[in-house]
Chain A
Amino acid sequence: KNQVEQSPQSLIILEGKNCTLQCNYTVSPFSNLRWYKQDTGRGPVSLTIMTFSENTKSNGRYTATLDADTKQSSLHITASQLSDSASYICVVSAASDYKLSFGAGTTVTVRA
């Protein structure tokens, strides 16, 4: 069964600090990996999408990496801001049917 595991489940960081979120997946065959940001009470919004041949993708202060060999991805948040407080969801698409497998998310809380 295709699975996506995220760690940590939650973390608290001080404003201005950096943090890294992890995603491991077993989805095969692999099509692409996406990171979504979900604010409380809102729907997920796409941050980055990476295909097999891409190993890094940035969107402002968000940088995602992908190691397709080890089936791992990370999302790095630089110089965190209060508005970064949200749940970050790793989503992997299978090449066989393009259906999405969602991780449970990492809840990030940024404190002043």
Chain B
Amino acid sequence: NAGVTQTPKFRVLKTGQSMTLLCAQDMNHEYMYWYRQDPGMGLRLIHYSVGEGTTAKGEVPDGYNVSRLKKQNFLLGLESAAPSQTSVYFCASSSLSYNEQFFGPGTRLTVL
């Protein structure tokens, strides 16, 4: 039982490049979330999903897209990376909206 896994762990992009971050959970959770964590700030919700095939915007969705084609996977895409997207990205999942969220280990992204 791996819990929540994220790939890759680290990535360096040049401005304008695109990439996809993958999140996978093996707990059969309905809800999945993407957050970003920046120094001196709390985690901020980018996008979330309440079930397979559904996605919704969070607090800071601009510049990101997501897809939830399979219940266990939640993908975060950056179409044209910008230096302001340099951050640590965390994926999380929960069985219900008010239940504990389980976090992945994070992806450290640097955009030059």
Listed in ascending order, the chain A residues whose CB lies under 8 Å from chain B are 4, 31-32, 34, 41-46, 49, 89, 93, 97-105
For window 56-112 of B, CB contacts with A under 8 Å fall at: 58, 90, 92, 97-98, 100-106
Size class of the B contact interface (CB-based, 8 Å): 10 to 19
| Given A4-B42, A43-B4, A43-B90: A100 and B101 interface contact (C-beta under 8 Å) | yes
Query: How far is B45's CA from A103's CA once the two chains are assembled, in angstroms?
Result: 13
Are A49 and B106 touching (Cβ within 8 A)? Answer: no
The count of A-to-B residue pairs whose CB atoms sit within 8 angstroms is 43
Are B100 and A89 touching (Cβ within 8 A)? Answer: no
Are A42 and B106 touching (Cβ within 8 A)? Answer: yes
SS of B interface (majority)? loop
- List of A residues within 8 angstroms of B98 by Cβ: 31-32, 93, 98
- List of A residues within 8 angstroms of B105 by Cβ: 41-43
- List of B residues within 8 angstroms of A104 by Cβ: 40-42
Residue of A nearest to B6 (CB): A43
Query: How far is B42's CA from A4's CA once the two chains are assembled, in angstroms?
Result: 9
Residue of A nearest to B59 (CB): A99
Query: How far is B101's CA from A45's CA once the two chains are assembled, in angstroms?
Result: 9
- List of A residues within 8 angstroms of B102 by Cβ: 46
